[in-house]
Amino acid sequence: MIETQAKPGRGESGSVPTVSYHEIRKRFGTFEALAGVSMEIYHGEVVCLIGPSGSGKSTLLRCTNGLETMDSGDIKLDGKSMPKDWNGMRGVRQRMGMVFQNFELFPHKTALGNVMAGPIGVLGKPRKEAEQRAMDLLRKVGLVDKAYSYPAQLSGGQQQRVAIARALAMDPEIMLFDEPTSALDPETIGEVLNVMKQLALEGMTMVVVTHEMAFARRVGNWIVVMDRGAIVEQGRPEQIFDAPAKDRTRDFFSHLGWSG
Amino acid sequence: MSYDWSVVWRHADLLWEGTKVTIFLAVTTMIIAVPGGIVLALMRLSGIRILAAASATFVEFFRNLPLILVIYTAYYILPVATGLRFSPIATAIVALSLNVSAYNGETFRAGIASIRKGQSEAGYALGMSRTRVMFEIVLPQAVRRVLPVLASTWVSLFKDTSLVSVISVGDLAFESMRVRSQTFRVLEMLTAMAVIYWLLGYPQAKLVDWINKRYRVNE
């Protein structure tokens, strides 16, 4: 069990958030996915976005690295507005790692090839150096013996751990997790969450969209509850889970069968 | 009616020459039409309107014209219209390449479209450029996925090369027909021709089945 320590700087004046969202709006046709969301993420925090399906969590996460465009609003990175053009976004993406619900490993590359794809193809690292680093990362996620396996030969949990190593290979400042365990068999969820917990302990700034309430409570240090494209409430895990301020939050937990 | 099968053996050298030309035509056409098809597909999917329209026009034009008409046109009308005169075999390759490139263009387009969006997104999330995502992530998967279709196109092409005999290219069909008209041994020569095409084509069809199994996309 990890101490949910109070992060210095949360809400204090003077500290610049690593990422700050200002009035983000996004529509898909007539569906309002994000209805003006504002929030901050500070350095070293594990921010967990929770809430029912279709509440805008994933959309907000995908706006962060420009996989989704916003209709209006502004996202600031270290206090500076993110570029709107494609090439500028490429630079931003290189500073953020992303882990997808469906892993999205490249099926024609080995685990090692997947982890090396970014350093070689984007950073232009020499193959030998990239390979060494990739092997270190695969060791870190416990899959060094699967380096030469193809994704189809790996279990879901193993694929997701390779995907985490692939994102880490770019030495990101922030890791974005989009429901990383939702497509997994129950018995492989733990191995992925353990890797994520390890990352959190090392001080990685993480934004995690998740339905794993136990993970959010124990590893997260800032919880954001979303519903219908808006933030219902946000706060420290013990407050959100033990003493939710809003009926909507209590309602959501009761639907999960979660009693705090 | 009596048969004289010796006519086949007596003209074996001509049939062999024709077979070589047939293989050469099919191989050369495919070597041109695979990159050609990829270029057409990339143009179509480029998002640049004029390129997409040019590609679509090319594909729909050559895919919907009978190949024999393209061959005749390239041989009789193009030299008059443009002043350029190619050898019959070069003309044949141009006509076949136009036709097969159009088919391959549609094949690759479907293949690229079949690779799910998340794969490109995973590339973009790493900071890759559009070009790198296309050539390192999407296209290698698309090519694998359409290999069976390309293999079928190849088998069709191999037989369709016989159409170029109408412009006196000395392929297997042309040489067989020539021997036939010189010796009046119709049945013998048609049988010989059928046997050779079949013997060359059957292993290829089997190869297609094997490719289908071997390169099935595992995800």
| A125 contact B CB<8A | no
Q: Structure tokens of B21?
A: 């030309």
Judge whether B52 lies within some domain.
yes
Flag whether pLDDT at A260 surpasses 60.
no
Residues of A in contact with B141 (CB under 8 A): 106-108
pLDDT attached to residue B219: 55
How far CA A63 is from CA of A54, B50, B57, B88, in Å, comes to 15, 31, 37, 58
Q: In this predicted structure, which of A12-21, B115-124, B130-139 has the lowest mean pLDDT?
A: A12-21
Cα–Cα distance for residue pair A111/B167, rounded to 1 Å? 53
pLDDT band at A6 (very low <50, low <70, confident <90, very high): very low
Higher-confidence position of B2 and B16 = B16
Q: Which of residues 174-233 of A touch B (CB under 8 A)?
A: none
Q: How many angstroms from the chain centroid is the CA of residue B2?
A: 39
Check which CATH number belongs to the domain holding B148 and give it: 1.10.3720.10
Q: Structure tokens of A121?
A: 């193809």
For the entire predicted model, the pTM comes to: 0.86
Judge whether B219 lies within some domain.
no
Judge whether B1 lies within some domain.
no
Q: Which chain A residue shows the shortest CA-CA distance from B128?
A: A122
Average pLDDT of chain B, as a whole number: 90
List the domain range (segments joined by +) for residue B29: 6-214
- For A57-66, the pLDDT digits (tens) are 999 999 999 9
Which residue among A86, A151, A170 sits closest to B126, beta carbon to beta carbon?
A170
Judge whether B29 lies within some domain.
yes
| A248 contact B CB<8A | no
- Residues whose CB is less than 8 angstroms from the CB of residue B10 and which lie 6 or more positions away in sequence, other chains included: none
User: Is B63 in contact with B103 (CB distance < 8 Å)?
Assistant: yes
State the Cα torsion A233-A237-A242-A248 to the nearest 10°. Answer: 20
| A255 contact B CB<8A | no
Judge whether B109 lies within some domain.
yes
Judge whether B127 lies within some domain.
yes
Does ipTM surpass 0.95 in this model? Answer: no
- Residues whose CB is less than 8 angstroms from the CB of residue B206 and which lie 6 or more positions away in sequence, other chains included: none
Judge whether B21 lies within some domain.
yes
Flag whether pLDDT at A7 surpasses 60.
no
Cα–Cα distance for residue pair A39/B153, rounded to 1 Å? 55
User: Is B88 in contact with B169 (CB distance < 8 Å)?
Assistant: yes
- For B163-205, the pLDDT digits (tens) are 988 888 888 888 888 888 888 888 888 898 899 999 998 888 8
Flag whether pLDDT at A161 surpasses 70.
yes
Judged by CB atoms closer than 8 Å, whether chains meet at A93 and B121 is answered as: no
Best of A62, A92, A106 to mutate (most B CBs within 10 Å, chain B): A106
Judge whether B124 lies within some domain.
yes
Residue A22, number of CB atoms within 10 A of its CB: 15
Quick one: average pLDDT of B122-136? 95
Number of domains in chain B: 1
